[in-house]
């Protein structure tokens, strides 16, 4: 009887495991997340767009409508990013980042933060996490965000400055998992970021702009993670200059000219 119960329990556990893997790969869980993103954006436009546009009319003139729309998109994106990355897709983003590193033959690096299994399936190799992934959205980051918001009251230039400043933060944040796997302390991280400051800013600006897109922002959160992991793999292999560009890519660009 005991053997029968054990057999049933093991079989049920295997079925649950297989179902969980299939469910994760199906990405169907993204649909309610997309709906949440659309809901947040709609709510923000309904209740905050007109008041902010009215205020911006005094500073931006005819550009008030556009500036206010960009501001609301930024606010919606930030709110949704905080909620989703903290409660919904944090582990999925970590798996994506680690999976890309494994696919680029930097398994030794990934093994510093999680167990690695055998097999040919990239994602199947990812075992249990041994280090807590990705830094959360810190209170300091929220404070800085609201400190930068008034820049949007300056027509065009202010909005550009706001996006660039957000990009300066988002760039290094995209590599927080990489820094963790490298086991760098605060000083080492700051030194590295300073060396690649321009590259991190440009990456961050692109990432911020992509994640401003309603609904699609959840998709871009994953593509940004893939891009960050590919960049990290190139850094590990010495294929990137301090400007953040692969030498081979720069050579191809010269030939194209």
Rounded Cα distance between 39 and 80, Å, is: 10
SS3 3: helix
**pLDDT of the chain, 257 residues: tens digit per residue:** 555 545 545 555 555 445 445 555 555 555 555 565 677 778 888 888 888 888 888 877 787 888 788 788 777 777 777 777 666 678 888 899 999 999 999 999 999 999 998 878 888 888 888 887 655 566 677 777 778 877 877 777 887 888 899 899 889 999 999 999 999 998 999 999 999 999 999 999 999 888 877 667 778 888 999 999 999 999 998 877 666 556 555 555 555 55
Angstrom distance (rounded) from CA 162 to CA 140: 16
* Structural tokens at position 210: 């992509």
* Calculated CA dihedral for residues 194, 89, 100, 170, nearest 10 degrees: -20
Nearest C-alpha neighbor of 160 from the set 39, 66, 32: 66
Q: Are 173 and 138 in contact (CB under 8 A)?
A: no
| Cβ atoms of residues 183 and 110 within 8 Å | no
What pLDDT does residue 20 have?
A: 45
Our measurement of the distance from residue 254's CA atom to the centroid of its chain's CA atoms, rounded to an integer in Å, reads: 31
Q: What is the DSSP letter of 48?
A: H
């Amino acid at each position: 009887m005991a053997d029968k119960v054990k057999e049933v329990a093991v079989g049920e556990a295997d079925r649950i495991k297989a179902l969980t893997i299939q469910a994760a790969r199906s990405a169907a869980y993204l649909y309610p997340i997309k709906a949440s993103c659309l809901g947040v954006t709609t709510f923000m436009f309904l209740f905050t767009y007109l008041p902010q546009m009215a205020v911006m009319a005094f500073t931006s003139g005819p550009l008030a409508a556009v500036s206010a729309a960009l501001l609301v998109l930024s606010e919606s994106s930030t709110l949704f990013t905080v909620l989703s990355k903290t409660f919904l897709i944090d582990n999925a983003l970590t798996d994506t980042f680690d999976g890309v590193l494994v696919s680029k033959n930097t398994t030794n690096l990934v093994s510093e933060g999680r167990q690695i299994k055998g097999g040919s399936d990239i994602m199947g190799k990812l075992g249990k996490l041994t280090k807590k992934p990705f830094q959360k959205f810190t209170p300091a980051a929220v404070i800085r965000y609201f400190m930068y918001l008034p820049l949007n009251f300056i027509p065009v230039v202010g909005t550009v400055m706001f996006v660039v400043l957000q990009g300066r933060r988002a760039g290094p944040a995209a590599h927080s998992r990489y820094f963790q796997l490298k086991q760098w302390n605060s000083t080492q991280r700051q030194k590295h970021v300073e060396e690649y400051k321009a590259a991190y800013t440009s990456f961050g600006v692109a990432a911020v702009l992509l994640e401003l897109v309603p609904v699609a922002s959840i998709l871009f959160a994953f593509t940004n993670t893939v891009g960050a992991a590919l960049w990290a793999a190139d850094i590990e292999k010495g294929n990137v200059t301090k400007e953040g560009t692969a030498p081979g890519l720069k050579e191809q660009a010269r030939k194209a000219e």
